[in-house]
Structure formats: C-alpha cells, structure tokens
Structure 1
Amino acid sequence: MKRYEVLKVVVILQAVCMIALTGMVLVKVWPESNTKGDERNDKLDPPRHQEGGKDPHSDGDTWADPERGAEVVATVNGQSITRAQLSEQLYKQYGNNMLRVMMVRLAIDVEVEATKIEVSEEELNRELATTLEGYDSEERFFIVMKEHLGLTKKQVMDEMRYRLLMEKIATRNIPIADDDVERYITSNPEQFEPNLQLHLQWIVTGTKTQAESILDKLQQGEEFADLARNYSQDEFTAEDGGDLGMIEADDPFYNKQMLDTAGEMSIGEIEGPIEVEQGFAIIQLVGRKMNSGLSGTHLFNAVRKKLALEQARPLPELEDELLERYGAVILK
C-alpha cells in the first residue's frame, strides 16, 4: 500500500487498534468443537471483570479498573468524555470487525498447529521487500506505520505472517503444473520487468493563479515543505510537507501528465502548475530508483502462488470454514 493510500485509512485502523489494546473483546476458539454440556459452557464463559485485572493480551495496562474507565480523555466546553465512553463508542462502531479478526487469528493458529504449515524467515523477508517498494527505506516504512497507524514493527510483521499463512492454507490443495507457470511467464513478460519509481512532493491548489503564486514564493527561496503545509489543499499529505512517497512511474492512480513530467525531471527540480483531478499541482522530484524484477526460482514460485490464489476460494469463505471447524462462539 502506498503512503498516500495509507493515510486515507488512518482513522479506521487507529480505532481498530485501540479496541484491540483496550481488551474489550476476549474470545476463545477451542479445537474440541464437539464438546457439549456444562463442560463446553465452562470453557467459553467470558472473563469476569476484576478490580485491577489485567488484559492477558495487553502490555500490562489495567482493563477492568473502574477508576481507569472513569478517566477523562477529553473535554468540550466543560463537558467530559471518559475513557469508558470512548471505548464503548469504538466497540459499537468497530467491535464486530475487530472481533472477527481476533477469532480468525486464533483459528489460523489452531489450523497451523494441526497441519504444520510454516512461514519461513526468507518468505517473510521477501514479502517485506515487496511492501517496501512504495517507500524510501525499511526504516521509513516502519516510521510511517508507527506514526500514522500506531503499529510497531512486530505488529506489522505479525500481520504479514498471518496473511501469508492464510494464503498457504487457501492454496495448499491446489496443484499448479510447471508448464502453466512457464506459459504465464512467457505470456506476461511486462509484469516482471524492472520498474521506475519516483519520490515526489506536491502542493495542490484550487486555481492556476494560486499555483503560480506559490511558484513565485519557491523562486524567492521559500521551502517547498513549508508551503505545502500552509497552502496545499490535499489534506492527506499537507502536514507531511506534501510528501507522496515513492510512486511507480506508470501508477494508474496518479495523473499521467504529472508522472510523465516527473519522469523527465532532475532530482530537486520543481515543475508546475499541472492540472490534476484535485485542481492544480506543483511537484518536486525528491528521488528516483529502479526496482529489479523477479527472476529465477523466486519468479517461478511467485507466479505459482499467483495462479493458485486465482483458483482458491475467496478468503472470507475460508475464514468462515475455519471458524466453524474449530467451534468459534461469540459471547456478548
């Protein structure tokens, strides 16, 4: 996911993360799906709130302390909003989605234990390398994940691991012949060629006149990032000085004229105004790099995985099957 797209989902993902951290939702998924009677009910009883209790999935903050729930987290004109009120609203809006995520993860853990499916460090590192293609560096990627999504490096890597495990579960019984892989590679060479990426900043204005005024300020020596923060109408990048991060030179989600112009620019050069969907843009090329395409065994395995996933059942259906297989029960 490119950085520009990441910023668009910040609010939802931050809310989801807060629910997970508050520990409001605790579900157990048991492999003994045929257990009946009182024994089953005892296993699935929800945890009782105890004063000073700890959420076993948290880093140690209290989750059942009445005093903590009454903690005021914001005020407006003398009216208070407590932590408990905030948690309740987050639960109402995002609780069902987060609950499902937690249940599916537990079900995946049980399935992995039963089938001995594994994700190697090499596979995880290759997945990370693919994700990093939209960023300047690994360090920058994890900084963005922390600053905008509140996710630590460990949490990000855990998400990747679960996704890879789910893909392996989905494709483990789907055989793909070597001839099919070779035929796909031969028929789609453009998918595996090296690609150019551009690191851009931009300032978006409503009119061409406004853009030309900002160009005058740049020519007078004012900093591009400062002008973006003060004048850019793109709310997703303005606070970051108009930084769009690394963009593929042929990315269909960005204005073609803008990318074509950027592809001809020197690093540090500024161009504009360029008419875009949001108005008029002034762009600065911060950097560029050429990513090498896959080859050899890595290419062969990547295509085999792609073809298998195309034949696999939709992941939501597979999730439902896992939850049913391991007797998932919602208690609320």
Structure 2
Amino acid sequence: MFNHKLLYAIIAVLVLSNSYFLFTSIKKDDNDVVAKVGEVEITKEMWSEKLTKQFGQDVLKDMINREVVFQLAKKQGLKISPEVIDKEVSLYKVMHDQSSHELENLPDFDEAKLREEIEYILLLEEIYTQDIVISEAEIRNYYDENRSLFEQDDIYYLSHIVVKTEEEANEVLAELNAGSSFEALALERSLDMITASRGGDIGYVERNSYSVPEEYVHVADSLSVGEVSSPIEIAEGYAIIVLKEEIPGTSYAFEDMKREIRRQLALQQIEGDINAEHLWNELGVVWQYNEH
C-alpha cells in the first residue's frame, strides 16, 4: 500500500537528514580553508554559519519531530512490523527508480536509513489514526477486493551493455571475464546512452515490467547475484546484463497487513496534512532556537 505521498514524504526527510549530516561533519570552530577565490578564503566556520542560517531551523525541527514521534510511539506501545517495512522498502526501490528523472538530485542514502525514515513516517501515521475506529469487516473487505496490492513480483536490480552485433557482445564478455569493469565498459561501449552514463545501471525491474526487454527477466531468473549473462539478442542488437540484486516475490497474508490497511483507511478520514509539530505539546517541547 505504498503511495506517492509517502514516497515524497520519505524523500523530504532524507534530504533533511543529509543536511543534518553536513552540520555534524563541520566543526564550527575549525578555521581550515575549504575554498579560495582570488585572495578571499572561505573557512569551515564560514561554511557552517551559512548552512545554519539557510537550513538550521528546518533541520532542528526535523530532529525534534523525530524525537517526538519515536518517544510518543514508545510511550503508547506503537510499533511497525518488519514485514510492513520490508514491503515499503521493496516498493520504494521500484518507484524511486521509475521516478529517477524527478529525483535525480536526491542525495545518496543507505537502506538502513531508508528503513528508519519509513518507520518514522508510518509511526507518525499510527499516532494520528490510533483512535479512529475501522471495523474488522472493512479491513477484510479491502484486503479481499485489492489482493493485487498484496502480491509482490520478483524484483531484479540490473545493469546492461548494449552493442550492435553478437561479435561485439562476445568481445565485451571476453573483456569482462578477463577482469574489466562492467561500469567502465558500459560507459565506453554501450549504445544505450542513458544508462551508459550510469555504468549501465538500469535499476530495479519487476518481473512483469515493460521497461526492459522481456528477455532480460528470463535470463535474470537463471543468474546468481553478481553473475554476468551471455549475449542476449534484443531489438537493438545484443546485450549483456549483470544481476546486482534480487528481491524474491512474496504474498502478504491478511494478518500481516491488517494494521497497515486499518491505518490507510483511517488516514482517509483525516482532513489536512499530518504534522509532527502538532504533537510537540504532548511532550512539552521547548523551542529555544534563535536565528542569527
């Protein structure tokens, strides 16, 4: 039950947490020069002060919001099951890849951070919706009528190199077997200019996706993670793929998804946006930030 609203909420939090990393990685009293323009020197302290003025308030609010949500969730005994987080992580990866043109400026993040941000946002939703009553029958009906939402196909993370002829494909394969870098060869030889600039990286692909030739998925089925394929004939010529990651498909049982469905149905009854700042009074948050 992953949606675009949740996707962009996660992105916003990840961007803020990357901004926080900048603050913590710069010592304010450090006068080391990080840049020089003519005779003008820019120090770490100057950099830190600029970041604080531009982003300090937003980063501090995000830090407070996270503490409020996690503390209230613990106090109220609210938890998000690992199965729900696993599902959201898998779907996020697919949606993030499909939205790469919109999200190309998103800072790098690791999966542990992604899981934490998903948990944070879902706990915030739990806090807002815990008092809304949704009957067992409503939840069951939603599950039965939307079974496709709870069936996840196999997902493959693929990279490829596309060339014109089978002879060229065999040459590329020979170079790979001799130890050449897949990414470097993709940049040098692949006809797919969009993925070539990313080292051949296609991204996450669902089993029934139409975004890649269907031969890719058939071949990926027989590969181990890290294994390179033999040349594959496609409409554009020949391709060699490498399987970087595989996420097995799964079917989510009603009991595993019941609370997730209840939360989503309850959210439909809330008017306006949910915001952790509205919860500050419950923990007596004191705001002492003074912008200079």
Taking structure 2 as the reference length, what is the TM-score of the superposition? 0.65
Partner of 1:83: 44
Q: How far off its partner does 1:102 sit?
A: 1.7
Percent identity reads: 21
Quickly say closer, same or farther: Cα 1:157–1:213, change in 2 above 3 A.
closer
Q: How far off its partner does 1:77 sit?
A: 7.2
Quickly say closer, same or farther: Cα 1:13–1:244, change in 2 above 3 A.
farther
Counterpart pick for 2:21 among 4, 18, 27: 18
Provide the C-alpha distance between the structure 2 equivalents of 1:318 and 1:104, rounded to a whole number of angstroms: 9
Letter in 2 for 1:292: T
Quickly say closer, same or farther: Cα 1:165–1:234, change in 2 above 3 A.
same
Partner of 1:181: 139
Quickly say closer, same or farther: Cα 1:247–1:18, change in 2 above 3 A.
same
Is 1:310 the counterpart of 2:251 in the alignment?
A: no
Provide the C-alpha distance between the structure 2 equivalents of 1:293 and 1:170, rounded to a whole number of angstroms: 28
Quickly say closer, same or farther: Cα 1:198–1:157, change in 2 above 3 A.
closer
Quickly say closer, same or farther: Cα 1:127–1:173, change in 2 above 3 A.
same
Counterpart pick for 1:218 among 165, 169, 190: 169
Mapping of 1:187-266 within 5 angstroms?
187-203=145-161, 212=163, 217-220=168-171, 221-223=174-176, 224-230=182-188, 233-234=193-194, 238=198, 241-250=199-208, 256-258=210-212, 260-266=214-220
Aligned-pair RMSD on alpha carbons? Answer: 4.3
Partner of 1:319: 276
Q: How far off its partner does 1:303 sit?
A: 1.9
Is 1:107 the counterpart of 2:65 in the alignment?
A: no
Q: Secondary structure at the match of 2:175?
A: coil
Gaps of 5+ in 1: 23-60, 137-147, 204-210
Provide the C-alpha distance between the structure 2 equivalents of 1:216 and 1:186, rounded to a whole number of angstroms: 52
Provide the C-alpha distance between the structure 2 equivalents of 1:269 and 1:178, rounded to a whole number of angstroms: 52
Letter in 2 for 1:218: A
Gaps of 5+ in 2: 94-106, 177-181, 224-228
Q: How far off its partner does 1:178 sit?
A: 0.9
Provide the C-alpha distance between the structure 2 equivalents of 1:96 and 1:283, rounded to a whole number of angstroms: 49
Q: How far off its partner does 1:294 sit?
A: 0.3
Quickly say closer, same or farther: Cα 1:18–1:231, change in 2 above 3 A.
farther
Is 1:295 the counterpart of 2:253 in the alignment?
A: yes
Provide the C-alpha distance between the structure 2 equivalents of 1:300 and 1:21, rounded to a whole number of angstroms: 40
Q: Residue deviations 1:129-175, cap 9 Å, x none?
A: 22553699xxxxxxxxxxx736694x555434422321211111111
Letter in 1 for 2:169: L
Number of residues paired by the alignment?
251
Quickly say closer, same or farther: Cα 1:324–1:117, change in 2 above 3 A.
closer
Letter in 1 for 2:46: Q
Contact 2:68 2:279 in 1 (8 A): yes
Provide the C-alpha distance between the structure 2 equivalents of 1:13 and 1:236, rounded to a whole number of angstroms: 30
Partner of 2:99: none
Quickly say closer, same or farther: Cα 1:313–1:72, change in 2 above 3 A.
farther
Taking structure 1 as the reference length, what is the TM-score of the superposition? 0.58
Q: Secondary structure at the match of 1:258?
A: coil
Provide the C-alpha distance between the structure 1 equivalents of 2:196 and 2:57, rounded to a whole number of angstroms: 27
